[in-house]
Amino acid sequence: MCRNIKPLFNFDPPATDEEIHDAALQFVRKVSGTTKPSKRNEAAFEHAVSSIAACARELLGSLETSQPARDREEVAAKARARTAARFA
């Protein structure tokens, strides 16, 4: 799976529409093999991004967990620490 797609479930505050759209865009780019579609395929590309974003919103809205919500800053700090250790 694409490394740039981050988990969006169970965060406080919840994922924004922009984050969901960005994840959908990354997914469509990965599946299509292109970062920018040709003019001919632009409508299909945008439709796919919109459809996947809508499905992701629906999924995130229907998931349930008994775990407490994770803090975004704490998760980001852990990721930065892993990156620093990996590339140090």
Q: What is the pLDDT of residues 31-88, one digit of tens each?
A: 999 999 999 999 999 999 999 999 999 999 999 999 999 998 898 899 899 999 999 8
Please state the φ and ψ torsions of residue 36, each to the nearest 5 degrees: -140, 115
Q: How far apart are CA 23 and CA 66, in angstroms?
A: 25
Beta-carbon count within 10 A of 23 CB: 21
Please state the φ and ψ torsions of residue 70, each to the nearest 5 degrees: -85, 150
The number of helix segments (H) and strand segments (E) in the chain equals 3, 2
pLDDT reading at 3 higher than 70: no
Q: How far apart are CA 74 and CA 29, in angstroms?
A: 29
